Structure 1
């Protein structure tokens, strides 16, 4: 659902934001038929007046792994559904973004989908790009899009260890030099979200959204056992989730200094400047973790 809070509107106005990347729907597989279906389509509770809207569609990689995938049909239905949402909400868009973490096994279907979708839509087309797709682009190939958005986050595996899966400078360093050889223009997307990795008996049992250290530090049901780990003192419910006594929450969050570090590292490895810096995602809970001018500070690095 799209609806802006007062704080979200203030941040958009203060930073002179003119373009919003809006997740329209995901595409997954029907659990019984393995047929591609739209998941959680957006509802506009508020019209994004005064903003350029770019619909974003996330396609699960398992869809592209289907051996008998009808690519023309999928591209047509994807475009038609975007157009339906636009028509219903009186939105005109000039660009569409496809988000898919394609792999070597799914690349043929994915690249063909992009080709078909581009011809159908007759719009500017952008695609999300992961770090591994930059470094190994000769194997993973480059989609036929007008530009890419490098998702500079979700770099590691979600695990019960002490590493941050959202951002790790040491992991990023393995890929940064490859940027100078990547032939597609890239804009950058930075993370401004946090989550809790729910661990029970040293096994990850889920990700818990909209949780950070500050919140857990005030919760009498949890005790801080290290800079990132909190333990449930007794069995309890939080945000509708049940925690057993001794369950752990590992907090993975991005601080202001992380964002500046990311921008500086990218700047040192650029061939050309990005046209846009995107922050993911616009949410009052996320925005409350940062000083007001953090976005200006990050953008000024470029």
Structure 2
């Protein structure tokens, strides 16, 4: 009887260990492609053969579609990973857009992606990922764009999936792609007056994803490994400073309010920004335990998934266990 019990225990432990192991890689979201030694080593140790790399954004400038913040590359950006192009498109693009404009946009996005791949000699992937916060007011147009992009690029098209698009799937619709990447971050706006962590609010995430197990497409998961500081002025207006941590708040010119919030005591330049006395800085960051809590929740909802961490940057990677 004891032997049977121990055999069952070992089997259970092995199953749990296997259940919680996920292949992973990163997003790369800087405009100038470069890798320092720490980033190269971290990327080398990933267990997926891809690096999801933002190529450019699409905006409308003077009534015309324009690629902005197009990537450049230096000699340090060398990797054996397949480079998966990611393009961010503002949702506003798809309001009042015609079928001809959708066709034009898809063709030009596919062409610019191909041009950049050839220019930089990337090890190309069979996938293109589109990042867009589409809504029920733009889903038909956005989905038509995805279909056109697939036709022009002859690639597998995937896209990001936000929490509200899961919860309100009947209105948001299901995109015509082979796979979605569930964004488990940016659960609220950092520019709201709120005590919540806007990068990741676990209670809100669990509420929005209560039925994620029934989503009708293959799912991989994007998890946050970044931080920022939210500066609030005397009028209650907010500004973001990327990559701030609570360690940055240790300064004789700051008065501690809470563990992650300070008040500026002296006018001056801080973190490249001029801040006045009386301004407050609130840091939002994500712990390893929060990441594990998200994984634990999703393990009970999704049978299997890979992880793409956002994002590969030496400022963040040393703080996390992968």
TM-score normalised by length of structure 2: 0.85
For 1:43, the equivalent position in structure 2 comes to 72
CA apart distance, 1:17: 5.0
Relative contact order higher in (CA < 8 Å, ≥ 6 apart): 2
What SS does the corresponding residue of 1:279 show, helix, strand or coil? strand
CA apart distance, 1:202: 5.8
For 1:64, the equivalent position in structure 2 comes to 94
Match of 1:24 among 55, 67, 73: 55
Determine the C-alpha separation between the residues in 2 that align with 1:148 and 1:189: 10
CA apart distance, 1:68: 4.1
**Where in structure 2 are the equivalents of 1:128-207 lying within 5 Å?**
128-158=160-190, 159-201=192-234, 203-207=236-240
For 1:104, the equivalent position in structure 2 comes to 136
Match of 1:208 among 225, 241, 244: 241
What SS does the corresponding residue of 1:225 show, helix, strand or coil? strand
Q: Which stretch of structure 1 is more off in the superposition, 58-67 or 36-45?
A: 58-67
Determine the C-alpha separation between the residues in 2 that align with 1:160 and 1:201: 13
Contiguous gaps of at least 5 residues in structure 2 = 1-31
For 1:266, the equivalent position in structure 2 comes to 298
Superposed CA deviations along residues 261-293 of structure 1, whole A, max 9, x for unmatched, are 1111111122x211x210000000011323xxx
Match of 1:241 among 252, 259, 273: 273
Residues matched between the structures, number: 287
Contiguous gaps of at least 5 residues in structure 1 = 296-302
For 2:37, the equivalent position in structure 1 comes to 6
For 2:108, the equivalent position in structure 1 comes to 77
For 1:300, the equivalent position in structure 2 comes to none
Larger Rg: 2
CA apart distance, 1:172: 0.8
Match of 1:118 among 141, 150, 153: 150
